[in-house]
Amino acid sequence: MGQSNSSIMMAGGGCTGRVVLYSHDTFGLGHLRRSRALASALTQSGVAESAIILTGSPVAGRFTFPPAVDHVRLPGVKKLADGTYASQTEGMDIEATTALRSALITSTIEQYEPDLLIVDKEPTGFRGELTDTLDRLRQNRRTRIVLGLRDVLDEPDVLAAEWERKGAVTAAEAYYDEIWVYGMRSVYDPTQGLPLSDAARARTVWTGYLRRSIVDAAEVPDTPYILVTPGGGGDGAAMVDLVLSAYEQDPDLGPHAVLVYGPFLTGEVRERFEARVDALGGRVTSTGFDSKIEPLFAAAQGVICMGGYNTFCELLSFDQRAVIVPRTRPRLEQWIRAHRAEELGLVRNLDRFREGLTTTAMVDAIRALPSQKRPSEAGADGLLDGLEVVIARAQALMQQPLNDAAE
């Protein structure tokens, strides 16, 4: 079978293929920000002439994208307290919303004809919404398909049960030419416990972590500060409360803190935090959401944060001393990452299972920040080759004859 209309053209040794990145984004910012970093690297390197991100994130429009990167906003869903999902579109149930998302995905890929599809984390997509598209792509044999996994997914037993329930192992075996793990096996293996075949494991590439850089310049405070960030903020209230309590308990605690709530920490909880920030007389300043957070990372004296993948990449990339306060529900992903990073000397993990999440523990952690080693002193520079490896693998896959695709 011939190549698609977006066939790979060689110019100066590079290929100019089209890439689609699927990011289900039912919660937080992690999947969108990872897809944005990958799309930017692939287009700016010249390996891809253009890229489209399929995302369910409600804040996708608040980010800037390079000229060759665009996004298609899928109808949003929200996770309820009992673990089920509901549509964010009034008058549509979750089944109808999933069907609409699936149709938009299929239509986009049929019209755009990508040479490479990179699927983030979920082999079958949200509630299986990718399955029809994956079937069609495998029949047409025009598009290489890659599954991208972050460095940690969950506890092995919990993950194995989840993938069995979703048919994810079967999908990973049947549809994907390669599996990219955006981390290092020496740090953690997210596939441990999964019954993947030897052939699937042979198609697994450990890329390393995805280096971040300052893309958009932004003003930062002139005086020394620590950055406090709960990522997207949807599950960050406990961490923010702990930091504010530390500054309230210890009037001499410094340096001052810059608190970035994230777009999902809103409403009455945010209003109560703002009242406490105001009462601290400038020792803590706050902002709601900053899509250009990289300059704040780079200029900070240290960072207090949760343990999400993107935040961890930023800590390594900007060589920041950090205290991680990982969430432990609904999954242990962040705790596992913070625990391993602390074992390797990269960060300090404020561990609820060890010292407990007390105000005194947070005061002590902030005071100890200046004496912590930077990640580079523990060898972090050798962990950050992810984007370079992704660029090389993407180019190799898109240049490979289509009849060599994984069966």
Extents of the domains making up the chain:
10-211+385-400, 225-381
Give the model's pLDDT for residue 13. Answer: 43
Give the model's pLDDT for residue 6. Answer: 41
Letter for the amino acid at 100? Answer: L
Q: Which residues pair with 147 in a beta bridge?
A: 119, 179
Interhelix angle 94-112/131-140, nearest 10 degrees: 20
User: What is the CB neighbour count within 10 angstroms for residue 46?
Assistant: 16
Give the model's pLDDT for residue 17. Answer: 92
State the Cα–Cα distance between residues 96 and 28, nearest whole angstrom: 23
Give the model's pLDDT for residue 201. Answer: 97
Give the model's pLDDT for residue 400. Answer: 83
Give the model's pLDDT for residue 65. Answer: 85
Give the model's pLDDT for residue 209. Answer: 97
Give the model's pLDDT for residue 150. Answer: 96
Give the model's pLDDT for residue 37. Answer: 92
Give the model's pLDDT for residue 220. Answer: 87
Give the model's pLDDT for residue 31. Answer: 81
Here the tokens at position 110 are 């049929």
Q: Domain spanning 225-381 has what CATH number?
A: 3.40.50.2000
Give the model's pLDDT for residue 334. Answer: 95
225-381 shares the fold of 10-211+385-400: yes
CATH 3.90.550.10 fits 10-211+385-400, yes or no: no
Residue ranges of the chain with per-residue pLDDT less than 70: 1-16, 25-30, 61-62, 81, 83, 217, 233, 289-291, 402-407
Give the model's pLDDT for residue 14. Answer: 46
Judge whether 287 and 259 are in contact, CB under 8 Å.
yes
What is the phi/psi pair of residue 307, to 5°? Answer: -110, 35
